[in-house]
Amino acid sequence: MAIYVNYDGIPGEATQQDHTKWIDVLSLSWGVGRGINTVSGSTANREASEPSVSEV
């Protein structure tokens, strides 16, 4: 699946019919993390933080 992005005034190399002159997205990075804290040697009473979502 191809992903394209379009910025006004910046031509890209895409040749796909609906996205001519758009920019091909070659790489994308995104992440989600959630900290979990527990007492050493125990699997009960874990404390978890809210999820942290990174920018794209």
In this prediction, residue 6 carries a pLDDT of 97
In this prediction, residue 13 carries a pLDDT of 95
Amino acid at 36: I
pTM: 0.55
E strand map for 1-56: 4-5, 23-24, 32-33, 36-37, 47-48, 52-53
pLDDT by residue (tens digit) across 1-55?
899 999 999 999 999 999 999 999 999 998 999 888 887 777 677 788 888 999 8
Which of 25, 17, 18, 23 shows the shortest CA–CA distance to 1?
A: 25
